[in-house]
Amino acid sequence: MRQLENKETTIENGDKKLTYFDLAKSCINVPPQAGFDVQEMNKRLRVIEKLEGEKVELEDADFDTLKQCVVEMKWGVLSRDISDFVKYIQDEKKPTGDN
């Protein structure tokens, strides 16, 4: 399980500031070059449905789906907030526990 925080950015969209979950949803919504097959669509929809609130816990498979989308995303703007978001996702470590 991975726990992610929904940090607020300085990027404005109308009268609202975007959050990390908003950026994540943008990444997930970009189709692969060949388009979505149903399996990929379902994997991504499962992640999007969980991105609500202040924090979220994602199963490892869901986190891997999110991370792949974030790493492959091509951005149309230059932004420190976006750079920080990508680093946050890339550097997110699986919690260690007492096994």
pLDDT band at 66 (very low <50, low <70, confident <90, very high): very high
> Is position 82 within any domain?
yes
> Is position 69 within any domain?
yes
Q: What is the pTM of this model?
A: 0.89
* Other beta carbons within 10 Å of 99: 3
- Residue 49's contacts (CB-CB under 8 Å, 6 or more residues apart) are none
> Is position 84 within any domain?
yes
Decide: 2 and 58 in contact? Cβ < 8 Å.
Answer: yes
pLDDT value for 97: 55
Average pLDDT score over the chain: 92
CA 12 to the chain's CA centroid: 18
> Is position 96 within any domain?
no
> Is position 10 within any domain?
yes
> Is position 55 within any domain?
yes
Longest dimension (CA), the chain: 47
Model confidence over 6-31: pLDDT tens digits? 999 999 999 999 999 999 999 999 99
> Is position 98 within any domain?
no
Number of domains in the chain: 1
- State the residue range of the domain holding 51: 2-91
> Is position 27 within any domain?
yes
What contacts 24+ positions apart, CB below 8 Å, involve 12-20? 18/81, 20/85, 20/88
CA 33, 41, 21: angle at the middle one, nearest 5? 95
